[in-house]
Amino acid sequence: MAALKAHRLVPVVAIRDADAATGLAEALVAGGLPLIEITLRTEAAPAALKRASAVKGIAVAAGTVTTPDQVKLAVDCGARMIISPGLNTRVVEYCLANDLPCIPGVCTPTEVETARNYGLKTLKFFPAEAYGGVKTLKAFADVFRDFAFVPTGGVNLQNLGDYLKLPIVAACGGSWMCPADAINERRFADIEKLVRDAVALVKTL
């Protein structure tokens, strides 16, 4: 959680070849962003989590976690943070019972209030652009000023600044820093450049 708030960016990736995870994690560290969310959308995800976790200095989160069994798997593979697309109460309750940092997804006031009941104050706003993006978060600002949101879904270098300027936004998640084709083709220098550009933009805000 500390790495997320410190860097204000979360690279979100779906890895189809676990062998690429080491080079990808190293590129992120070299680019100044030692944080990665590896989604459990592919068969390669568990092995990718293990490989990324072995890279010195990087904080690894598991994304698209939808069941307690997936939480267990992710933690066994090295994940130290659990991120979900929605507010799955079974996942939240398991994480809280096992003292695991978790960031569930929300997009409505009712879901934010449900998260409040669990004592969760850092929430993923997903899918951000589809649910009104910056406009919706501005509407949330007065009512939910004690929360920190991580908008993900449709966030890119062009609208990143608009999100991060909002006081209730802790960080932004996105895949633009780690394009699938660049990962598959092992173009880690390109990824490092994209990461550096994003990190540089954050520093100007």
How far apart are the C-alpha atoms of 21 and 43, rounded to whole Å? Answer: 13
How far apart are the C-alpha atoms of 150 and 128, rounded to whole Å? Answer: 9
Q: For the chain, what is the radius of gyration of the CA atoms?
A: 16
Please identify every residue annotated as catalytic.
Answer: 37, 124
Summary count for the chain: helices (H), strands (E): 10, 9
Amino acid identity, position 6: A
Which residue do the tokens 């994940």 mark?
A: 79
* CA atoms 40, 43, 44, 49: torsion sign: positive
3-state secondary structure of 13: strand
